[in-house]
Amino acid sequence: MRLIVGLGNPGAEYEWTRHNLGFLLIDKLAVAAGVAVKRRECRSLVGSATIEGERVRLVKPQTFMNLSGEAVACLLAKAEITDPAKSLIVISDDLALPFGTIRLRARGSAGGHNGLKSIIAAIGTNEFVRLRIGIQPEHPVSNAKAFVLEHFRKSQQTEVEEVLERSAEAVSTLLRDGISKAMSIYN
C-alpha cells in the first residue's frame, strides 16, 4: 500500500491556483483509475485505487498547506506504515523550478515549501519520494505567497494539462518501474 499525497489548499477559491497542483494531479490520477477522492479520514479526502498493479490511497489533505504534515502523519499511522521511504509519495508545486518542469526525488529537503516542511516535521524524516511541479515564471516574483495563490491564466490551461499528464505518467512509471527509472526518464 502506498500513500500518494497531493498538496494544496481546500476550497473552491483555491481550485485552479498554482499552489494546488498537487490536488489537481490527485484528481487526474483518480479519474484515470475510476475512483472518487471523497472519503473523509485524518482531516483529508481519500480514495483507494489500483495504479500499475499497486494498491494506493490518493490523498488530498484538508488542513491547508502549512499543516499538511498532521494529516499525513495520521494516515501513515492508521495504515501502519513505518517506512515512508517505501510507501509515501508527495506531490507539490515548486517555485524554484521553471513552469512546466517536473522533478522526482527519493528524498530531500523542504526547499522552502511549507507543506513539505510540515510533513518532514510531523513524520520525523525527509526520506520519502516527492514529485515537484515547477511554477516559476519567466519574470522575478516580488511576493511569493501572493504568486502561489494566484490562479493560472486561461492561456496557461493547455500547458497545465500537459504538465499534469506528464506528471501522471511519471507517477505510473514510478509505481511500475521504481524511482530510479522514473527519475531517469522524467528529470
Q: What tens digit of pLDDT does each residue of 24-35 get?
A: 999 999 999 999
Q: Which pLDDT belongs to residue 140?
A: 86
Residue 161 pLDDT greater than 90, yes or no = yes
Three-state secondary structure readout of the chain: CEEEEECCCCCHHHCCEHHHHHHHHHHHHHHHHCCCCCEEECCEEEEEEEECCEEEEEEEECCCHHHHHHHHHHHHHHCCCCCHHHHEEEEEEEEEEECCCEEEECCCCCCCCHHHHHHHHHHCCCCCEEEEEEEECCCCCCCHHHHHCCECCHHHHHHHHHHHHHHHHHHHHHHHHCHHHHHHHHC
Q: Which pLDDT belongs to residue 11?
A: 95
Q: Which of the residues are catalytic?
A: 19
Q: What tens digit of pLDDT does each residue of 73-125 get?
A: 999 999 999 899 999 999 999 999 999 999 999 999 998 899 999 999 999 99
